[in-house]
């Protein structure tokens, strides 16, 4: 049984132990498809530093930003676990990008996490770690 201890990260999500791997991000309440559940400012790192990053504990927690940079997500952004049946996805937002719905102009680089389906309170929110550029996982997937 998972711990009842959890770190609240806003009204929509919290961090707790995951049956998938270590810590994970969970829905604090029932949420609808399309809800933005987290906006994580990112620290951009040079891809040239990947060899150094791979020697650290943060190696599995970085996102590809572009051809030259990696991103380390702040907040709970780097704690979303992988699932091939993911219920969340993320978008990259750069300084100056404007959200057409809220008219919010991003003053920082960020990852925005959005639900692909309705979720219930307590559901773990997962993303896919694979993409056209990264079709294979570097670990064995846990269902």
Digit-by-digit pLDDT tens for the chain (143 residues) are: 444 555 566 689 999 998 877 889 999 999 999 999 999 999 999 988 878 888 887 777 788 899 899 899 998 998 998 888 899 999 999 999 998 888 889 999 999 999 999 999 999 999 987 555 555 544 455 55
Q: What is the pTM of this model?
A: 0.82
Strands in the chain per DSSP E: 7-8, 13-17, 23-27, 36-46, 62-64, 69-73, 81-82, 88-93, 110-115, 124-127
CA distance 80 to 13: 11
Q: Do 70 and 64 form a contact (C-beta atoms < 8 A)?
A: yes
């Amino acid at each position: 049984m998972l711990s009842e201890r959890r770190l609240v990260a806003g009204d929509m999500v919290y961090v707790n132990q995951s049956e998938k791997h270590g810590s994970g991000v969970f829905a604090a309440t029932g949420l609808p498809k399309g809800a933005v559940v987290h906006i994580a400012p990112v620290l951009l790192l040079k891809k040239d530093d990947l060899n150094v990053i791979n020697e650290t504990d943060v190696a599995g927690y970085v996102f590809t930003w572009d051809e030259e940079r990696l991103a380390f997500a702040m907040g709970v952004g780097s704690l979303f676990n992988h699932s091939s049946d993911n219920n969340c996805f993320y978008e990259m937002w750069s300084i100056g990008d404007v959200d057409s719905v809220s008219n919010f102009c991003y003053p920082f680089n960020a990852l925005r996490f959005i639900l692909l389906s309705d979720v219930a309170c307590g559901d773990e929110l997962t993303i896919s770690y694979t993409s056209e550029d990264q079709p294979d996982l570097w670990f064995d997937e846990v269902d």
